[in-house]
Structure 1
Amino acid sequence: MEMETEEDALFEDADFAAVDSALFADYTTPLSRLVGQVTWLRPQHICKHPQLFPDNLTDAYPKQGILGDCWLLCACTMLLKSHHLLAKVMPPGQSVWGESGYRGEFQFRFWRNGHWVEVQVDDRLPCINNTPCFSRCHSPTAFWVALLEKAYAKLHGSYENLWAGQVCEAMVDLSGAMAERWSLKRATDTPAGKSLFPKLSGAMRKRSYISCCVHSTPAVTPELGQFHALSVMEWTDVKTSDGQEVQLLRIWNPWGRMCWGGAWTKSRAGWSSLDPSCSMELLGRTQEGEFWVDEKEFQLEFDELTVGYPVSDVGHLQSIYTGSFLTHTQQIRGRWVKGHSAGGCRNNSSYSSNPKFWLRVEEGGEVLLSVLQCGPWRAQRSCSQQPLGGSSSSQQHPHYQAIALHLWKVEKKRFNLMRTLNSTPCASSRTHAYEREIVVHTHLTAGFYLLVPSTFLQGAEGKFLLRVHSTCPTRLSEVKVSVQQECVGGEWETVSLCGSWIAGSTAGGGRNFSSHKQNPRVPFTVTYDPGGTNTIVTLRQHSPENSLHAIGFHIYKVPDGKVDSMVISSAVCPVVSCVPHSHSQEVSVQCRLPPAVYTILPSTYEPDHSAEYTVTVARRIHRRVMSSQERLGQVVQEISHVSVMGL
């Protein structure tokens, strides 16, 4: 009987096999030149004593291979600054080479669309001439980077799908937090005469995860080429011999070599302006692939900053603006559906049909909101091949929609939706942008806020995750408005009112009960009757699905227009009724009403059943044009997509 060898017992991942399909997606990058040259080896066949992490932290830093994924490696340095994040992404206690439990399999976790997902891979790595050809550690015997890269490639479908991407996206995937991108070329982001990091306090400069990138070839280093991402490892203030203050930044290049020729590289003029002991100390901090630049040179040569929010040991985001911990977290999913809830930007009369959400802020505080597109889970190379500027067609992103988020403060009991949406938002993203996630940072006082995520184009479809992190208690919920397709794109006005049935007070029950008149009243006025349906009323109860009440409503015409003085009795007949009462989350009716004043009595079937509800009235109106001229933001810039990195 043939005995099974130890090598035969090792795990081989059938879902991400060691074949060309794991390497290549569409053969459109320089990676396609590797066809037929790659072999797959386990770490024990690459070196004698493989290990997951080296003893020296410096040796654990990534080193880019011939795959253009510097954006991922810059995010990986974040894990080396945060042990609890590293343990989240790569669970500790896994058996490694030389241990009795070793089976050649490793587990990783990545944050995806609102939750952590597990990815299992074997440890067969793509090699050329018995050496890993993609990312690795500075120590040739450490393999945590190569294995994480393989798991991330599996999540994206192939290694080639990692060719070009955004550092901010990888930061979010490895932390579950948020990241922001700041342009260094726009005066609005970096005001003249102010600090390079005007939004970051000194403490947060040390705690935040910061990357920088070039979109064009730097004048001081032609070798660096275009679209490359690097990491800011440190910045410090020093004084020159003549008393001038200079801010210096230590930059790390994923290539593992310096590739810089500025005034503060070794033996250059900048160091002669400092005290020799200071120069020696700062130069002694640089590791392989690191170099120093001053603030002026940095702003001149680099195009963009990416700043990742720190995460505490218990999972709370820390504000990069104030340093406060955002201890309250809410998230909710939504989608834009063509013909129903894809209303486009505020230039469109259909804007009000976009998904809408309530944010209740219990007390004032700092609030961070974001809209994350739950699109294809892969790097987006195609956009990088489109030139900036030019026709609108060149601004289209192949996978993401241009998205934005606006929010308005409203009264708790009643508000006019169209009037609100025509007013100036209390906070918003600046423009619609072709990005996976847009972030809005603000401070809000206590109260109710209406949140409207939107795409720039009307009818653009997609799923999204709305996230809220705050220093104060908040409650996030969806505003359910059941308006049929007939309404979308037409001239309609929608008004929502939140209320409650209170036992012994406003829970009067149906018309069969004498207490029916005690139910809350929701007045509205019909001013336009073009023929056909001109009014849609929806009642939604906010009760758990396992304890729904039977709900319905009646619409009464108010003879003299005075709602408060109107007497409702069994002798007064409603003009429209939504009955029989139904044990459902939401009931709705469409009708045609002549111009007049009306009132709605929402009710549970039986009296004294307490619950909260929302009544939404959609009315046909004369056409109103939004007083807004939304503009489309620039197409997203891709990182490290032009040349093969690390050759």
Structure 2
Amino acid sequence: MAFLNPAFMLMSFHFVQEREREGVSTCVCACANSAHVLCSDLFAMEMTTDEDALFEDLDFAADDSSLFSDYTTPLSGLINNVTWLRPQEICRSPCLFPDDITEAYPKQGILGDCWLLCACSMLLKSHHLLDQVMPPGQHVWGEKGYRGQFRFQFWRNGRWTEVRVDDRLPCVKNTLCFSRCHQPSAFWVALLEKAYAKLCGSYEHLWAGQVCEAVVDLSGGVAERWSLTHAEDTLSGRSLFPELSNEMRKRSYISCCVHRALSGSSEQGQFHALSVMEWTDVKTSAGDQVRLLRIRNPWGRKAWNGAWTESGSGWNCLDPSCSADLLGRTQEGEFWVDEMEFRQEFDEVTVGYPISEDWHLQSIYTGSLLTHSQQISGAWVKGQSAGGCRNNSSYSSNPKFWLKVREGGEVLLSLLQHRSVSTMCNSKQRPTDGSTKQHLCQAIALHVWKVDKKHYNLMQTLNSTPCASTRTHVYEREVVVHTHLSSGFYLLVPSTFLQGAEGQFLLRVHSTHPAYLSAVKVCTQQECTGGEWEAVTVCGRWTAGSTAGGSRNFSSHGQNPRVPLNITYDPGGTNVKITLRQHSPENALHAIGFHVYKIPDGKADSVVISTLCPVVSCVPHAHSQEVCVQCRLPPAGYIILPSTYQPDCSAEYTITISRRIHRKAINSQECLGRTVQEISHVSVMGL
């Protein structure tokens, strides 16, 4: 499964007893029946005496509307059991961060958001990221300017979005029921969790998710997922993350997760995410080298039975001083595993690209800074630009972008589809099998072709092998392509798997050298009228049951009328204009389009259309009076097949073929007709 959750095991309220054993009860209010009784008169004097002045967030109210979305997760057991308290009502001396940074790490409550908490650990490694997400200088408890309000910033759909929340937090028996810090009096994690829940629509929307999504939302960077099991199942095609340099081991953020029930440590649970805090190579007494990884469990307990537990047999093969040093580094909820255990017990890793203080991504592959970045938005629109995958004849209608690379180098491309908050909030079918958010995403992919700047045949290009691409369409919010590109021009085509699937997306490019990203600008018929032209008009009819074969989606496509086209002159640039016009009333238009096939030598009469790929297409079929395509065709013999989208649609049509000629036209004619309805297949760079 692609999504992570703690398998519902924390729903029990035993967490309250556990926290009482940790000493939390000494910090809670003495009067359990009054949620607003302060623990200390001295602290109350330091606080504002006007409780009404404290901010109350009406957009994310302290009630069940902020907790639940559709009551389909185990959180529904909290109905009518939650009390909302401010930190000063929970403990005596609340703070944002403890003095000991090791006590600031998140500890998971009964909410299945281990994926978010693992990403929160990343912020403690990068103070500039932490300051970006939680701007410094905010007034806290006991300060004169404190008003019970906190600001956070999350990166969404290409920009940083501010989220303001009050500090009323959900509690059970005066104890936080969701995430907190290892030091109970520190509240940065609980407040960030609330702000992120507001961004997503509710706390329940945080039940199950992807670590990589949270990493991106908390950094504005890029994260990749790699399989540790089967190479064919991984997004990057790797069976294990590559060897990282010592620097990248320290700078990269790495998380690991379990998709299945663990054999050696069943308490870990299925769909659970953990953080890789450190990895180091040590030598055994026999001289063998062992790679050890220090893992942090957001549950706050070790829950591990391997050879490298505190009393495990693995330590016997190391020098006692080395063993003592490594064991001394572990904090609450941390444990060591060797690389063999790691491969056997975990299924997947997420690696977040480090971000420098200058806000440049650092390549996890080479360590190089990707100092040049650009982003551009786009959309898949049904009937216009939602062409689907390469299996569809309408693939060419997908949005297209130019990438101009001035100097060869390392390039990181990412395609991120928007998932609006309103869509998430309105969702009423939330599975609880570890794939909670999957249904909110389209299966997406990104393909890249190197092309000539001035002239190229779109259909021939798209039918060729891309120079780089995602491995397949996947149901992920973001897909990533890491590659090295030489200087030149590249055509980028983002697509959904399903034809007609709508959505908005963000295309990002990070590179070591200057690269320029722009949307493909199409050349209209009026812009390509240079030179001498000769026009021929052919009339025909689609007849139900005989010549109305429909589009290429139907086996009867070859029954459509065939219009011969002979090209003898190619001066460079556009040399053919084909216009198809149907003679039907405006209120009874069919969806029309056409394909152009190159015929093998001497086989014009016997060519089987189903065995050929079109060299030019005017698709998707449009409910328009007229459609048109301009293109460049080399000298050869061709066949034009006009068609309606559905078979057995009767109508009359006219095809006008305009060809460039090398002599002065005697009887030339040009039919501009209505506004061009389909995109051109001749594109120019627009920078």
TM-score by length of structure 2 reads 0.71
Matched, 1:461 2:502: yes
Among residues 629, 632, 638, which one is paired with 1:536 in the alignment? Answer: 629
CA distance in 2 between counterparts of 1:13 and 1:387 reads 31
Q: What residue in structure 2 maps to residue 524 of structure 1?
A: 575
CA distance in 2 between counterparts of 1:131 and 1:470 reads 47
Stretch deviating more after TM superposition (4-13 or 166-175): 4-13
Q: What residue in structure 1 maps to residue 336 of structure 2?
A: 292
CA distance in 1 between counterparts of 2:71 and 2:659 reads 70
CA distance in 1 between counterparts of 2:54 and 2:574 reads 72
Matched, 1:343 2:407: no
CA distance in 1 between counterparts of 2:434 and 2:128 reads 40
Q: What residue in structure 2 maps to residue 444 of structure 1?
A: 485
Deviation, structure 1 residue 220: 1.4
Among residues 207, 229, 232, which one is paired with 2:273 in the alignment? Answer: 229
Q: 1:189 to 1:263 in 2, by over 3 A?
A: farther
CA distance in 2 between counterparts of 1:556 and 1:338 reads 29
Q: What residue in structure 2 maps to residue 503 of structure 1?
A: none
Contact 2:413 2:482 in 1 (8 A): yes
Give the letter for the 1:575 counterpart: E
Q: What residue in structure 2 maps to residue 363 of structure 1?
A: 407
Matched, 1:376 2:420: yes
Contact 1:250 1:293 in 2 (8 A): yes
Contact 1:218 1:225 in 2 (8 A): yes
Deviation, structure 1 residue 531: 7.2
Give the letter for the 1:28 counterpart: T
Deviation, structure 1 residue 141: 1.0
Q: 1:78 to 1:397 in 2, by over 3 A?
A: closer
Per-residue CA distance 1:16-38 (angstroms, 9 max, x = gap):
11111111111111111111111
Give the letter for the 2:446 counterpart: L
Contact 1:408 1:450 in 2 (8 A): yes
Contact 1:371 1:437 in 2 (8 A): yes
Unaligned runs of 5+ in 2: 1-47, 526-549, 554-570, 584-625, 632-655
CA distance in 1 between counterparts of 2:437 and 2:139 reads 46
Q: What residue in structure 2 maps to residue 392 of structure 1?
A: none
CA distance in 2 between counterparts of 1:387 and 1:290 reads 24
Higher RCO (CA 8 Å, separation ≥ 6 residues): 1
Deviation, structure 1 residue 368: 0.5
Give the letter for the 1:465 counterpart: L
Q: What residue in structure 2 maps to residue 551 of structure 1?
A: none
Per-residue CA distance 1:569-598 (angstroms, 9 max, x = gap):
xx99652458xxxxxxxx95479xxxxxxx
Among residues 467, 474, 498, which one is paired with 2:515 in the alignment? Answer: 474
Aligned alpha-carbon RMSD (Å) = 3.1
Deviation, structure 1 residue 315: 1.0
Per-residue CA distance 1:450-504 (angstroms, 9 max, x = gap):
00001111111111111111111111111144999xxxx9579xxxxxxxxxxxx
Deviation, structure 1 residue 535: 2.9
Contact 1:404 1:428 in 2 (8 A): yes
CA distance in 2 between counterparts of 1:44 and 1:328 reads 46
CA distance in 1 between counterparts of 2:149 and 2:109 reads 23
How many residues are matched? 523
Q: What residue in structure 1 maps to residue 96 of structure 2?
A: 52
Q: What residue in structure 2 maps to residue 618 of structure 1?
A: none
Matched, 1:69 2:69: no
State, as a whole percentage, how many aligned pairs show the same letter. 68
Q: What residue in structure 1 maps to residue 327 of structure 2?
A: 283
Q: 1:9 to 1:530 in 2, by over 3 A?
A: closer
Q: 1:276 to 1:195 in 2, by over 3 A?
A: farther
Give the letter for the 2:142 counterpart: G
Q: What residue in structure 2 maps to residue 149 of structure 1?
A: 193
Deviation, structure 1 residue 319: 0.7
Matched, 1:247 2:291: yes
Matched, 1:168 2:212: yes
Contact 2:226 2:240 in 1 (8 A): no
Matched, 1:406 2:451: no
Q: What residue in structure 2 maps to residue 425 of structure 1?
A: 466
Determine helix, strand or coil for the equivalent of 2:328. Answer: helix
CA distance in 2 between counterparts of 1:37 and 1:249 reads 40
Matched, 1:311 2:355: yes
Contact 1:359 1:476 in 2 (8 A): yes
Q: 1:161 to 1:387 in 2, by over 3 A?
A: closer
Deviation, structure 1 residue 525: 3.0
Q: What residue in structure 1 maps to residue 602 of structure 2?
A: none
Matched, 1:575 2:626: no
CA distance in 2 between counterparts of 1:139 and 1:381 reads 37
Among residues 111, 122, 135, which one is paired with 2:166 in the alignment? Answer: 122
CA distance in 1 between counterparts of 2:162 and 2:667 reads 62
Contact 1:536 1:588 in 2 (8 A): no
Stretch deviating more after TM superposition (246-255 or 30-39): 30-39
Q: 1:531 to 1:214 in 2, by over 3 A?
A: same
Q: 1:226 to 1:259 in 2, by over 3 A?
A: same
Contact 1:537 1:589 in 2 (8 A): no
Per-residue CA distance 1:339-392 (angstroms, 9 max, x = gap):
11111111111111111111111111111111111023359996754699xxxx
Deviation, structure 1 residue 244: 1.1
CA distance in 2 between counterparts of 1:98 and 1:92 reads 16
Contact 1:163 1:381 in 2 (8 A): no
Alignment of 1:497-646 (within 5 A): 522-525=573-576, 533=626, 535-537=628-630, 561-562=661-662, 566=663, 575-577=670-672, 588-589=675-676
CA distance in 2 between counterparts of 1:469 and 1:104 reads 39
CA distance in 1 between counterparts of 2:677 and 2:272 reads 57
Per-residue CA distance 1:289-313 (angstroms, 9 max, x = gap):
0000001110000000000111111
Determine helix, strand or coil for the equivalent of 2:322. Answer: helix
Q: 1:249 to 1:523 in 2, by over 3 A?
A: same
Determine helix, strand or coil for the equivalent of 1:283. Answer: helix
Give the letter for the 2:326 counterpart: L
CA distance in 1 between counterparts of 2:251 and 2:412 reads 18
Determine helix, strand or coil for the equivalent of 2:575. Answer: strand
Deviation, structure 1 residue 556: 11
Determine helix, strand or coil for the equivalent of 1:523. Answer: coil
Per-residue CA distance 1:23-62 (angstroms, 9 max, x = gap):
1111111111111111111111111111111110001111
Give the letter for the 1:248 counterpart: L
TM-score by length of structure 1 reads 0.76
Q: What residue in structure 2 maps to residue 509 of structure 1?
A: none
Matched, 1:105 2:105: no
Among residues 239, 256, 263, which one is paired with 1:219 in the alignment? Answer: 263
Q: 1:364 to 1:490 in 2, by over 3 A?
A: farther
CA distance in 2 between counterparts of 1:304 and 1:364 reads 32
Deviation, structure 1 residue 124: 0.6
Contact 1:536 1:590 in 2 (8 A): no
Alignment of 1:89-100 (within 5 A): 89-100=133-144
Deviation, structure 1 residue 201: 2.8
Matched, 1:178 2:222: yes
